[in-house]
Protein backbone atom coordinates (compact mmCIF):
# COMPACT_ATOMS: atom_id res chain seq x y z
CA UNK A 1 0.00 0.00 0.00
CA UNK A 2 1.43 3.38 -0.96
CA UNK A 3 1.91 6.22 1.49
CA UNK A 4 -0.87 8.15 -0.32
CA UNK A 5 -3.35 5.30 0.15
CA UNK A 6 -2.41 4.95 3.82
CA UNK A 7 -3.06 8.66 4.39
CA UNK A 8 -6.46 8.42 2.66
CA UNK A 9 -7.40 5.39 4.76
CA UNK A 10 -6.44 7.14 8.00
CA UNK A 11 -8.46 10.21 7.05
CA UNK A 12 -11.48 8.02 6.23
CA UNK A 13 -11.27 6.21 9.58
CA UNK A 14 -10.96 9.47 11.49
CA UNK A 15 -13.94 10.90 9.61
CA UNK A 16 -16.02 7.75 10.19
CA UNK A 17 -15.23 7.58 13.90
CA UNK A 18 -15.90 11.29 14.49
CA UNK A 19 -19.42 10.92 13.14
CA UNK A 20 -20.19 7.47 14.54
CA UNK A 21 -23.61 7.37 16.16
CA UNK A 22 -23.41 8.06 19.91
CA UNK A 23 -25.95 6.55 22.29
CA UNK A 24 -26.92 8.86 25.15
CA UNK A 25 -29.28 8.43 28.09
CA UNK A 26 -32.52 10.41 27.88
CA UNK A 27 -31.93 11.59 31.45
CA UNK A 28 -28.61 13.18 30.43
CA UNK A 29 -30.00 15.59 27.84
CA UNK A 30 -32.65 18.28 27.59
CA UNK A 31 -34.77 18.20 24.44
CA UNK A 32 -37.88 20.30 23.87
CA UNK A 33 -39.99 17.52 22.32
CA UNK A 34 -43.21 19.49 22.86
CA UNK A 35 -41.87 22.20 20.53
CA UNK A 36 -40.97 19.91 17.64
CA UNK A 37 -43.95 21.14 15.60
CA UNK A 38 -43.30 24.87 16.14
CA UNK A 39 -42.23 25.91 12.64
CA UNK A 40 -39.99 28.96 12.67
CA UNK A 41 -38.96 28.45 16.31
CA UNK A 42 -35.65 27.22 17.69
CA UNK A 43 -35.28 23.61 18.84
CA UNK A 44 -32.97 23.06 21.80
CA UNK A 45 -31.08 19.84 22.49
CA UNK A 46 -28.45 20.26 25.19
CA UNK A 47 -26.86 18.57 28.14
CA UNK A 48 -28.68 18.73 31.44
CA UNK A 49 -26.35 21.46 32.65
CA UNK A 50 -27.32 23.50 29.55
CA UNK A 51 -23.88 23.11 27.96
CA UNK A 52 -23.70 22.21 24.28
CA UNK A 53 -23.35 18.68 22.98
CA UNK A 54 -20.29 17.95 20.80
CA UNK A 55 -20.93 17.78 17.06
CA UNK A 56 -22.02 14.25 16.18
CA UNK A 57 -24.94 11.93 15.40
CA UNK A 58 -26.89 10.82 18.46
CA UNK A 59 -29.58 8.39 19.46
CA UNK A 60 -31.35 8.04 22.79
CA UNK A 61 -34.32 6.03 24.05
CA UNK A 62 -37.15 7.26 26.21
CA UNK A 63 -40.14 5.59 27.79
CA UNK A 64 -43.71 6.69 27.16
CA UNK A 65 -46.69 4.84 28.64
CA UNK A 66 -44.54 1.76 29.21
CA UNK A 67 -43.16 1.72 25.65
CA UNK A 68 -39.58 2.56 24.68
CA UNK A 69 -39.03 4.84 21.68
CA UNK A 70 -35.86 6.12 19.98
CA UNK A 71 -34.95 9.75 19.27
CA UNK A 72 -32.26 10.33 16.66
CA UNK A 73 -30.65 13.69 15.92
CA UNK A 74 -27.53 15.45 14.63
CA UNK A 75 -25.63 18.23 16.39
CA UNK A 76 -23.62 20.53 14.11
CA UNK A 77 -20.33 22.33 14.75
CA UNK A 78 -22.22 25.24 16.36
CA UNK A 79 -23.73 22.87 18.93
CA UNK A 80 -27.22 23.13 17.41
CA UNK A 81 -29.53 20.44 16.04
CA UNK A 82 -29.31 20.14 12.27
CA UNK A 83 -30.91 17.94 9.61
CA UNK A 84 -33.70 15.60 10.68
CA UNK A 85 -34.73 14.93 14.28
CA UNK A 86 -36.78 11.71 14.33
CA UNK A 87 -39.05 10.74 17.20
CA UNK A 88 -40.75 7.34 17.60
CA UNK A 89 -40.37 6.75 13.86
CA UNK A 90 -43.63 8.68 13.39
CA UNK A 91 -42.53 12.27 13.95
CA UNK A 92 -39.85 14.03 11.91
CA UNK A 93 -38.65 17.56 12.52
CA UNK A 94 -36.48 19.22 9.87
CA UNK A 95 -34.02 21.71 11.34
CA UNK A 96 -31.57 24.17 9.83
CA UNK A 97 -28.96 25.30 12.37
CA UNK A 98 -31.45 24.92 15.22
CA UNK A 99 -34.45 26.53 13.48
CA UNK A 100 -37.43 24.30 12.63
CA UNK A 101 -38.53 24.78 9.02
CA UNK A 102 -40.69 21.68 8.57
CA UNK A 103 -42.22 18.78 10.47
CA UNK A 104 -44.10 15.61 9.54
CA UNK A 105 -46.29 13.49 11.78
CA UNK A 106 -47.44 10.11 10.44
CA UNK A 107 -50.41 7.86 11.13
CA UNK A 108 -49.95 4.71 13.21
CA UNK A 109 -49.11 2.83 9.99
CA UNK A 110 -46.13 5.21 9.55
CA UNK A 111 -46.66 5.41 5.78
CA UNK A 112 -49.43 8.03 5.69
CA UNK A 113 -49.13 11.64 6.80
CA UNK A 114 -51.44 12.77 9.59
CA UNK A 115 -50.11 16.33 9.85
CA UNK A 116 -47.35 18.48 8.39
CA UNK A 117 -46.13 22.03 8.81
CA UNK A 118 -43.67 24.09 6.79
CA UNK A 119 -42.57 27.59 5.84
CA UNK A 120 -43.53 29.33 2.61
CA UNK A 121 -41.73 32.63 2.68
CA UNK A 122 -42.76 34.21 6.01
CA UNK A 123 -45.98 32.18 6.19
CA UNK A 124 -46.33 29.06 8.35
CA UNK A 125 -48.59 26.47 6.69
CA UNK A 126 -50.11 23.53 8.57
CA UNK A 127 -52.00 20.68 6.91
CA UNK A 128 -54.04 17.87 8.49
CA UNK A 129 -55.07 14.64 6.74
CA UNK A 130 -57.56 11.86 7.45
CA UNK A 131 -56.63 8.19 7.43
CA UNK A 132 -57.23 8.01 3.66
CA UNK A 133 -54.77 10.81 2.94
CA UNK A 134 -57.48 13.38 2.14
CA UNK A 135 -56.85 16.96 3.22
CA UNK A 136 -58.90 17.61 6.36
CA UNK A 137 -57.71 21.11 7.22
CA UNK A 138 -55.15 23.71 6.18
CA UNK A 139 -54.09 26.84 8.06
CA UNK A 140 -51.84 29.73 7.04
CA UNK A 141 -50.39 32.01 9.71
CA UNK A 142 -48.39 35.18 9.08
CA UNK A 143 -46.83 36.92 12.09
CA UNK A 144 -48.91 34.63 14.35
CA UNK A 145 -52.13 35.82 12.67
CA UNK A 146 -54.37 33.45 10.72
CA UNK A 147 -54.79 34.55 7.09
CA UNK A 148 -56.15 31.34 5.51
CA UNK A 149 -58.40 28.65 6.96
CA UNK A 150 -59.62 25.53 5.11
CA UNK A 151 -61.68 23.02 7.09
CA UNK A 152 -63.56 19.87 6.08
CA UNK A 153 -66.06 17.74 7.97
CA UNK A 154 -66.04 13.96 7.60
CA UNK A 155 -68.53 11.19 8.31
CA UNK A 156 -67.41 9.57 11.57
CA UNK A 157 -68.09 5.95 10.55
CA UNK A 158 -66.26 5.96 7.19
CA UNK A 159 -64.02 9.04 7.64
CA UNK A 160 -65.18 10.11 4.17
CA UNK A 161 -65.54 13.73 3.10
CA UNK A 162 -68.82 15.49 3.89
CA UNK A 163 -68.30 19.21 3.17
CA UNK A 164 -65.62 21.91 3.32
CA UNK A 165 -65.25 25.61 4.15
CA UNK A 166 -62.50 27.97 2.92
CA UNK A 167 -61.83 31.38 4.49
CA UNK A 168 -59.13 33.38 2.67
CA UNK A 169 -58.73 36.64 4.60
CA UNK A 170 -56.16 38.04 2.15
CA UNK A 171 -58.42 37.66 -0.90
CA UNK A 172 -61.60 38.33 1.10
CA UNK A 173 -63.20 35.01 0.09
CA UNK A 174 -65.44 32.68 2.07
CA UNK A 175 -66.34 29.54 0.08
CA UNK A 176 -68.49 26.53 1.04
CA UNK A 177 -68.02 23.26 -0.85
CA UNK A 178 -70.35 20.28 -1.25
CA UNK A 179 -69.35 16.65 -0.79
CA UNK A 180 -68.17 16.28 -4.38
CA UNK A 181 -66.02 19.41 -4.20
CA UNK A 182 -68.47 21.65 -6.07
CA UNK A 183 -68.90 25.18 -4.78
CA UNK A 184 -72.17 25.64 -2.88
CA UNK A 185 -71.73 29.35 -2.13
CA UNK A 186 -69.07 32.06 -2.37
CA UNK A 187 -68.88 35.34 -0.44
CA UNK A 188 -66.50 38.06 -1.68
CA UNK A 189 -65.54 41.18 0.29
CA UNK A 190 -62.38 42.28 -1.55
CA UNK A 191 -61.31 42.99 -5.16
CA UNK A 192 -64.87 44.01 -6.04
CA UNK A 193 -66.07 46.77 -8.40
CA UNK A 194 -66.32 50.28 -6.99
CA UNK A 195 -69.23 50.98 -4.60
CA UNK A 196 -69.77 47.25 -3.83
CA UNK A 197 -69.20 46.10 -0.26
CA UNK A 198 -70.07 42.42 -0.53
CA UNK A 199 -71.12 39.85 -3.11
CA UNK A 200 -72.71 36.49 -2.35
CA UNK A 201 -73.14 33.79 -5.01
CA UNK A 202 -75.11 30.56 -4.61
CA UNK A 203 -74.71 27.58 -6.95
CA UNK A 204 -76.81 24.49 -7.67
CA UNK A 205 -75.49 20.90 -7.59
CA UNK A 206 -74.36 21.26 -11.21
CA UNK A 207 -72.17 24.27 -10.28
CA UNK A 208 -74.47 26.66 -12.16
CA UNK A 209 -75.13 30.07 -10.63
CA UNK A 210 -78.48 30.01 -8.85
CA UNK A 211 -78.51 33.43 -7.23
CA UNK A 212 -76.23 36.44 -6.78
CA UNK A 213 -76.68 39.05 -4.06
CA UNK A 214 -74.79 42.37 -4.23
CA UNK A 215 -74.57 44.79 -1.30
CA UNK A 216 -73.71 48.39 -2.20
CA UNK A 217 -72.10 51.16 -0.18
CA UNK A 218 -75.31 53.22 -0.40
CA UNK A 219 -77.20 50.55 1.56
CA UNK A 220 -79.03 49.00 -1.41
CA UNK A 221 -79.05 45.25 -2.06
CA UNK A 222 -79.54 43.69 -5.49
CA UNK A 223 -80.46 40.02 -5.85
CA UNK A 224 -80.14 38.47 -9.32
CA UNK A 225 -81.74 35.09 -10.11
CA UNK A 226 -80.56 32.53 -12.66
CA UNK A 227 -83.21 33.66 -15.18
CA UNK A 228 -81.84 37.21 -15.11
CA UNK A 229 -84.70 38.78 -13.15
CA UNK A 230 -83.63 40.79 -10.12
CA UNK A 231 -84.81 42.50 -6.95
CA UNK A 232 -83.53 45.75 -5.41
CA UNK A 233 -84.04 46.37 -1.69
CA UNK A 234 -83.54 49.81 -0.15
CA UNK A 235 -83.70 50.26 3.61
CA UNK A 236 -85.46 53.44 4.73
CA UNK A 237 -86.25 54.27 8.37
CA UNK A 238 -86.04 50.61 9.36
CA UNK A 239 -88.33 49.50 6.52
CA UNK A 240 -87.40 47.76 3.27
CA UNK A 241 -88.54 49.23 -0.04
CA UNK A 242 -88.60 46.32 -2.52
CA UNK A 243 -88.58 46.58 -6.32
CA UNK A 244 -88.79 43.55 -8.61
CA UNK A 245 -87.63 43.67 -12.24
CA UNK A 246 -87.62 41.39 -15.28
CA UNK A 247 -84.27 40.45 -16.84
CA UNK A 248 -84.85 43.28 -19.37
CA UNK A 249 -85.03 45.78 -16.49
CA UNK A 250 -88.82 46.31 -16.53
CA UNK A 251 -90.31 47.10 -13.10
CA UNK A 252 -93.05 44.58 -12.33
CA UNK A 253 -93.68 45.05 -8.62
CA UNK A 254 -92.93 47.62 -5.94
CA UNK A 255 -93.80 47.47 -2.25
CA UNK A 256 -92.65 48.04 1.31
CA UNK A 257 -92.58 45.07 3.62
CA UNK A 258 -94.68 46.89 6.24
CA UNK A 259 -97.25 48.16 3.72
CA UNK A 260 -99.60 46.64 1.13
CA UNK A 261 -97.85 45.68 -2.08
CA UNK A 262 -98.46 47.61 -5.30
CA UNK A 263 -98.75 45.48 -8.46
CA UNK A 264 -97.73 46.90 -11.82
CA UNK A 265 -99.09 45.64 -15.16
CA UNK A 266 -100.90 42.79 -13.48
CA UNK A 267 -97.79 41.12 -11.93
pLDDT in tens, 71-110: 999 999 999 999 999 987 789 999 999 999 999 999 887 6
Q: Which residues contact 107 (CB under 8 A, 6 or more apart)?
A: 90, 113, 114, 131
Residue 102's beta-bridge partner residues? 94, 118
Neighbours of 87 (CB within 10 A): 20
pLDDT of residue 5: 47
Residues 141/155, Cβ–Cβ less than 8 Å: no
Rounded CA separation 13/81 (Å): 24
Helix ranges (DSSP H) in 19-82: none
Q: What is the pTM of this model?
A: 0.79
Task: Give Cα separations from 11 to 5, 22, 30, 199 (angstroms).
Answer: 10, 20, 33, 70
From residue 133, how far is each of 28, 113, 130 by CA, in Å? 38, 7, 5
Number of H helices and E strands in the chain, helices first, is 1, 22
Which range of 51-65, 143-157, 184-198 scores highest in mean pLDDT? It is 184-198
Task: Parse the chain into domains and list their residue ranges.
Answer: 1-93, 107-170
pLDDT at 12 over 70: no
The answer to whether 38 and 99 are in contact (CB under 8 A) is no
* pLDDT-wise least confident of 30-44, 204-218, 253-267: 253-267
- Which of residues 117 and 179 earns the better pLDDT score? 117
Distance CA 174, CA 108 (A): 34
Quote the pLDDT of residue 19.
Answer: 52
CA distances from 41 to 37, 57, 139, 190 (A): 9, 22, 17, 33
Judge whether residue 175 has pLDDT over 50.
yes
- d(C-alpha 107, C-alpha 126), whole Å: 16
> How many whole angstroms separate alpha carbon 131 and alpha carbon 182?
22
pLDDT value for 63:
79
pLDDT tens across 17-66, in order?
Answer: 445 689 998 889 998 767 788 999 999 999 999 999 999 999 988 877 77
Where b means 16+ CB within 10 Å and e means fewer, 214-235 reads bbeeeeebbbbeeeebbebbee
Task: Please give the average per-residue pLDDT across 2-25, as a whole number.
Answer: 53
Q: Give the distance from CA 217 to its chain's centroid.
A: 33
144, burial (CB in 10 Å: exposed 0-12, middle 13-18, buried 19+):
exposed
Q: Give the per-residue pLDDT at 214.
A: 98
pLDDT at 26: 85
Is pLDDT above 70 for 264? no
Count of CB atoms within 10 A of residue 113's CB? 13
Amino acid sequence: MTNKNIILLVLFLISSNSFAQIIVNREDIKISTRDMDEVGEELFIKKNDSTLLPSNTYICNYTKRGETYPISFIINEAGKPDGVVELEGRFKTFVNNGIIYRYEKYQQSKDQLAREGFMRGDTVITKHYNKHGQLRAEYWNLNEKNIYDYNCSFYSETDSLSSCRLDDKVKGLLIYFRKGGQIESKISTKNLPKNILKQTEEFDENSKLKKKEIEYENGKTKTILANGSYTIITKVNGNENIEKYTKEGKLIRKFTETESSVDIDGY
